[in-house]
Each structure stands twice: as C-alpha cells, then as structure tokens.
Amino acid sequence: MTIGAKDVAALRPRFRGALVQPGEEGYDQARRVWNGEIDRHPALVARCAGTDDVVEAVRFARERGLLVSVRGGGHSIAGHSVCDDGVMIDLSLMKATAVDPEARTVKAAGGLLWGELDRATQAFGLATTGGIISHTGIGGLTLGGGLGHLMRKHGLTVDNVRAIDLVTADGELRHVDGESDPDLFWGLRGGGGNFGIATAFEYQLHPVGPMVVAGPVFWPLEEAPSVLSALRDLAPDAPDELGITIGIAPAPPAPFVPPSWFGRPVAGLVLVWTGDPEAGEAAMAPYRRIGSPVVDAVQPLPYVALQGSLDGGAPHGRHYYWKAHRLPTLDDAVIDVLMERMGAPTSPFAQITGWAIGGAVSRVDPEATAVGDREVGFELNVTVGWLPSDREGDKHKAWVRDAWDGLAAHSHGVYANFISDEGQAGLASAYGDRLTRLVALKDRYDPDNFFRMNANIAPSSGASS
Ligand SMILES: Cc1cc2nc3c(=O)[nH]c(=O)nc-3n(C[C@H](O)[C@H](O)[C@H](O)COP(=O)(O)OP(=O)(O)OC[C@H]3O[C@@H](n4cnc5c(N)ncnc54)[C@H](O)[C@@H]3O)c2cc1C
C-alpha cells in the first residue's frame, strides 16, 4: 500500500517533525530496528517532535484505516515497532526530561533510551530501575514491566511509574494515574503498547551512586553447574541492594578479560551493589568465592558507566532470536539443559542471560499491576545472534527452541517483554488470569485493535485487522 502525496501534504502543515516516505532521504535508516532480522517497509514514517505530532499521526492513520506501529527504542525482538505498508509512528526524536530533585521524580518523553534517561537523572544523583543495555527504549520496556539492576531494591520499572501521558486510539490525550483512571493505569503497567501511545512517563527516582560497586565475575563453562547451584541457594536471600544477572556466553574481548579467554565460553554473574560500599564487600563475597573465577572485574564505577557496560553484547543490526522462561529455581535438570545447549552452540553469538528476581519486586502484590507473577526465582532468556551474511538462521533458531522446550517443564510463565513468537500462548503464559481484565480494558480503549503491532491483547470482538 502507498499513502498518496496528497494525503501526506495535508498532514505536513500540522506536523512539526519529519514525514519520511519510501525513496526519501533517511527512510532506510528510520525504518531499521535493533533486530537486523526485521526488514519491513512502512508507507510513511512519522517522526514525531512532540505529543501534538503523535495526536496528528494517530488521527491521520485512524481516518484512513491505516495499520500503525509505534517505535520507542526499536528493541522488540519480534520487530513490533515497524510495520509493512502502514504508518510507523516514531517517537525517537522525543527526548525531553524534567527532573524534580525535591520530589525525586522525572517526567521523561516516550522516545528516550535508558542511557539517556540515566544520564539526565544521575546529574542529580538519582535513578529509577531501568534496562541494563543503554540503547533500549524506556517506552516498550516500561509498558511491559521493566527488569533492571536496581529492581531488588526499588522494584520493577512499573513499580516506579507515577503517571503516563497517553494518546489513545481515538486521538485523545489523557493523563493517566492511579486516581484519574486506576483501571487503565493498572493495565498500562505491564500490558504493553495495547492501550495507546505513551508520550511521557513520570517516574519515582531514588538516590543511587553516582558511584556503585559492580562488575562481572566469569568462570570457565565447566564450572557453570557449581556457579548456578550456588546462585540457586544464595540469591533468594540476597540483600535488596544486590542486583544479580547471569550471562553464559563466549567471553568478550574486553580489557579486563585475559586474551587467552577471548571467545571461550564462560559462565558469568554481573553483581551490582548500590548500598554502602563496605557492606557490599561482605554481601558479594559468597558469590566471588565460588570455584575459581578467571575474571573478577567487580570494582567501583559510575552508575552511568555500569549502565552502558554490557552494550557490546547486543549491537544493532545483528540478526537475533530469543525465547524465555520464568523459573522458580535453577533445578539440576535446568542446569543440565543449559550445559547441554551451551556445549553445542550454533553461533559465536549464542548466549543465555538471566535475572535473579526477588527483593522489592516480590513484595509488590501481584494484583497491583498487570505485569504478572512476582515470585522469587529466575528469568532465563536463551538468545542467539548471527551476522547478516550467515544464511543459517533456521539452524540458530532451532538451537534456541530446543533449549526452550527442554526448560518448559520447569517454567512458571514468561515475562511479557520477552515474548517472541509464541502468539496467544505467550500472552496466556505472561498474564494468566489477568488476561481477562486486560481484554476488558482493550474493549474499552481500543475496541477496533488500532494498536495491534505489539504482544497483542485482542479485543473480545476479535478485531485483528
Ligand atoms: C538488547 C536488549 C536489552 C534488553 N534489556 C532489557 C532489560 O534490561 N530489562 C527488561 O525488562 N527488558 C529488556 N529487554 C526487553 C525490552 O524490554 C523489550 O524488547 C522492549 O519492548 C523494548 O522497548 P523499546 O521501546 O526499545 O522497543 P520498541 O520495539 O520500540 O517497542 C516495543 C513495543 O512497545 C511498544 N512501544 C514502545 N514505546 C511505546 C510507547 N511510548 N507507547 C506505546 N507503545 C510503545 C511498541 O509499539 C512495541 O509494540 C531488552 C531487549 C533488548 C533487545
């Protein structure tokens, strides 16, 4: 489908940002998203300069019955932020921030990336729970839940959301908080982009850093079983100030890694301590003493540096595929599956990443937001990347699926932002009983399923196109 020049010309005087069509300068750059596997061609990219542009773009698409996708940071694994033929509503120019250091809040425009928001808030010694790769968007990550290094202390990202400015499918702008519309506010905290376009988020901030004590510890892959079983025992009782993520992958060619270990598979933990530094030594010691690490790079560093320190493992443009499970514990049988898969990777960019869930995350009532269960345990994500020149994508995807199938018997669900190609089963697994309430909200705010390029909660009418 094309959108006629006359239509675009009618929109142009009402639109402050850039309107980019196929063949025009910047089109290919604007339609690209993080996952190089996604290659879609919208008929129009509406690069919004502000909320007014978002309203105009929604009304424009709505009046013409056009398919819409919404781009925040562009990191949806399934490529939901770019559509074929329709209008890609691109928020990536919307970067405003307003920190209130007294109230410890920030109002942040929907197109910010986590690294940008962290820099803005750290200027005041403040931060909120955010993604661990600095180029991930605040939009998609927040609306789906939000795991991060600070979550055991300060909860998920959604637990820190105070209000959202939302453009709904009828083209209206609403300020949504717990008082104005508790039901919609509940759904926006976990239900993804199903109910509208978040043009701004207001977050609660907390004093963090600016220096924290953090870094990776790596062991040879053979030691992964003892590392993971020790983690299984230690993590549920870890202090809230300790964030713990897991990475099983080839060692990166980083300055802190001995060259003889470059590219060799390692089991790693990234430890992040945001409390009193001396107490941190004691809290991290049991983890650092496991077995015989080949790297221990835990050290004082600025929080903003930490937040960009893992970016090298997830560059833009590589092709990616992942699948994830939420596991209550790391049973020996789970560890066996991980060892078997990481012993036979199909790509040098195969990795298993994970998160120790607990602390403040698990003290929030599971019914308080749409996110879903908050039990103490682990999120595990099996990911493969491959280069655009590599034609063996199917083989790499099968490697991920085999691991995912092997873990399924132990799974308690999936985190909504890690749904990949599971369709309705993924939604059921992410939301469980909450799905009924989410469908009722969708019926109320988007009965025609105008916003459907997402982990789609279809309205009860079944409208899907
Ligand atoms: C490299 C990488 C690292 C990650 N790290 C983490 C992590 O640390 N913690 C974590 O919890 N998750 C993480 N994720 C998962 C991440 O939360 C999701 O991929 C999320 O969808 C990314 O949001 P985005 O805005 O970048 O993506 P986009 O592709 O732009 O958007 C994803 C979905 O959200 C919708 N959307 C985006 N912005 C808005 C908005 N403002 N209003 C309405 N709808 C919107 C889009 O339409 C789309 O459906 C990571 C993903 C990647 C690829």
Atom of ligand 1 nearest to the CA of 35: 53
Atom of ligand 1 nearest to the CA of 71: 30
Ligand 1 pocket member 71 (CB < 6 A): yes
What's the DSSP call for residue 460? T
- Annotated domain spans of the chain: 5-90, 97-207, 211-423
Question: Which of 37, 75, 349 is the best mutation target for the ligand 1 pocket, counting ligand atoms within 8 Å of the beta carbon and taking the most?
Answer: 75
- Fold exhibited by the domain 211-423: Vanillyl-alcohol Oxidase; Chain A, domain 3 (3.40.462)
Atom of ligand 1 nearest to the CA of 454: 49
Ligand 1 pocket member 215 (CB < 6 A): no
Question: Which of 35, 38, 77, 81 is the best mutation target for the ligand 1 pocket, counting ligand atoms within 8 Å of the beta carbon and taking the most?
Answer: 81
Question: Please, are residues 443 and 458 in contact by the beta-carbon 8 Å criterion?
Answer: no
Ligand 1 pocket member 122 (CB < 6 A): no
Question: Please, are residues 386 and 205 in contact by the beta-carbon 8 Å criterion?
Answer: no
109, pLDDT greater than 80? yes
Question: Please, are residues 319 and 387 in contact by the beta-carbon 8 Å criterion?
Answer: yes
- Check whether domain 97-207 has CATH 3.40.50.300, yes or no: no
Alpha-carbon distance of 175 to 340, in angstroms, equals 49
pLDDT digits (tens, 9 = 90+) for 174-200: 999 999 999 999 999 999 999 999 999
pLDDT band at 305; cut points 50, 70, 90: very high
Residue with CA at minimum distance from ligand 1 atom 7: 131
Alpha-carbon distance of 191 to 195, in angstroms, equals 8
**Architecture in CATH for domain 5-90:** 2-Layer Sandwich (3.30)
Amino acid at the residue 281: E
Ligand 1 pocket member 131 (CB < 6 A): yes
Inter-CA distances, 372 with 143, 146, 176, Å: 13, 12, 20
pLDDT digits (tens, 9 = 90+) for 327-386: 999 999 999 999 999 999 999 999 999 999 999 999 999 999 999 889 999 999 999 999
Burial 284-313 (b: 16+ CB within 10 A, else e): beebeebbebbbbbbeebebbebbbbbeeb
Ligand 1 pocket member 36 (CB < 6 A): no
Helix ranges, 148-268 (H): 151-154, 182-188, 224-234
Token pair 């809230």 is at which residue? 240
**How far does residue 327's CA lie from ligand 1's centre (Å)?**
22
Other CB atoms closer than 10 Å to residue 235's CB: what's the count? Answer: 24
DSSP letters for 357-390: E-THHHHS-TTSSTT----SEEEEEEEEEE-TT-
269, pLDDT greater than 90? yes
Question: Please, are residues 280 and 288 in contact by the beta-carbon 8 Å criterion?
Answer: no
Ligand 1 pocket member 314 (CB < 6 A): yes
pLDDT digits (tens, 9 = 90+) for 422-457: 999 999 999 999 999 999 999 999 999 999 999 999
